[in-house]
Amino acid sequence: MAYSVTKSPPVIVTPASSTPHGHLPLSSIDKTAAVRVSVDFIQVFGHGQDPAPIIKKAFADALVPYYPVGGKIVEPNPGEPEVECTGQGIWFVEAAANCSLRDVNQLERPLMIPKEELLPRPPPEENLEDVILMAQVTEFTCGGFTVGICFSHLVFDGQGAAQFLKAVGEMARGLPKPSIEPVWSRESIPNPPKLPRGPPPSFTAFKFETIVIEISLNSIDNIKNQFATETGQKCSTFDVVTAVIWRCRARAINLAPDAEVRLGFAASTRHLLHDVLPSVEGYYGNCVYPVGITRSSDEIKNASLVEIVGLIRDAKEALTTKFVDWMNGGAKDNHYNVPLDYGTLTVSDWSRVGFNEVDFGWGEPNYVFTLNDDVNIVASAIYLKPPLPKQGIRLMLRCVEEQHSAVFQEEMMKLA
């Protein structure tokens, strides 16, 4: 049997009551080239009763306090995008699958339904780059459903998008208003002088393999305990998992001993903005700053995991100084200029941003996964929560080509 999804045409969900119009600025962090992308992900729910109309109405209610989300991205001046608050609303798609979630293996990889069938897209006359957020509810024959979301990273970071969706969940559950009041205040973020641009990055299309590996809580705790024993300090799950992937990958790709291997990730800076924003808690714009570490291939291949965890922790601790310098206009170089060659690995932690905590009335999702995993210009690792009731971290990996895949997986399984 061929599994498929039947979609209704996309419709506009307008705010439940009138909202302000006009133009709103984006922050200097929002406007960095690194976040001008759309982000796609799926939430999988085990059961729900007629969820589409309930969620559709909840979006309409949430778009009143979150009225900028119902607008569109415009660019009156080149390089200066902003949000035009039109009161139009968001695109919403209702869909039905001809199968149960069990039939398609709970949407585990490899997907048995093309991802395009689970994700919303606007009508052809609409420019996807101008859209702030879209949603699709797909109902399965078993009573389960998925919510597919596409959002503009120009307007939200992951935590900000999760904050909005939690508010939609609260409206769906009958709350009169969101428990966290949304804050725009993009103009409060400093706008330091732009640093001179370096040469444009060169892009190589790699042929990365898609690999899914789970690291158990037990393995993570063992490394945490080892770190505590040797250093007298604590470390996070992120530190441990990142150290494991970086070393395993360095050993698998086996570059020349003095070749550079680089690690990059976006760190949250919300805790550094309490004196800048009127309320950090309700702010849903981008609050991230890139962290990068460069070492020789031999250094990382031969280092202990405790040593690599220490490198990651040191880089995170240096973030405060670097971000404050940047806000004060004292940054010396463009922090987004990272070579996009095979030696660079980027990691992104989706396990804690909040998408797993969205409740539309039938409990939190069994599983949340991103669908932005077809990028081939830089090696990437995405951290997810595994489907319930499993514990630990699920890794969605596109970071090695076929000739290095077997060794990489062998190295990873030693520590999983």
Q: What pLDDT score does 106 carry?
A: 96
Whole-angstrom CA distances from 3 to 7, 105, 124, 140, 225 are 13, 12, 25, 11, 46
Of the listed 130, 341, 359, 373, which one is catalytic? Answer: 359
Q: What pLDDT score does 310 carry?
A: 98
How far is it, in rounded angstroms, from Cα 368 to Cα 194? 37
Q: What pLDDT score does 281 carry?
A: 94
Q: What pLDDT score does 350 carry?
A: 95
SS (H, E, C) 12-78: EECCCCCCCCEEEECCCCCCCHHHCCEEEEEEEECCCCCHHHHHHHHHHHHCCCCHHHHCEEEEEEC
- Low-confidence stretches of the chain (pLDDT < 70) are 33-34, 195-202, 332-337, 373
| Residue for token pair 């400093």 | 190
**Rg of the chain's alpha carbons, rounded to an integer?**
22
Q: What pLDDT score does 334 carry?
A: 61
pTM, to two decimals: 0.94
- Identical fold, 5-188 and 211-415: yes
Q: What pLDDT score does 196 carry?
A: 55
Whole-angstrom CA distances from 315 to 9, 218, 248, 267, 289 are 48, 26, 20, 10, 12
Of the listed 40, 153, 239, 404, which one is catalytic? Answer: 153
How far is it, in rounded angstroms, from Cα 283 to Cα 165? 14
How far is it, in rounded angstroms, from Cα 245 to Cα 267? 18
CATH number of 5-188: 3.30.559.10
How far is it, in rounded angstroms, from Cα 82 to Cα 250? 41
Ordered by start, the domain boundaries in the chain are: 5-188, 211-415
> To which CATH superfamily is domain 211-415 assigned?
Chloramphenicol acetyltransferase-like domain (3.30.559.10)
Is position 298 annotated as part of the catalytic site? no
Q: What pLDDT score does 201 carry?
A: 60
**3-state SS assignment for residue 203:** coil
Whole-angstrom CA distances from 137 to 28, 44, 63, 142 are 33, 10, 17, 14
Is position 404 annotated as part of the catalytic site? no
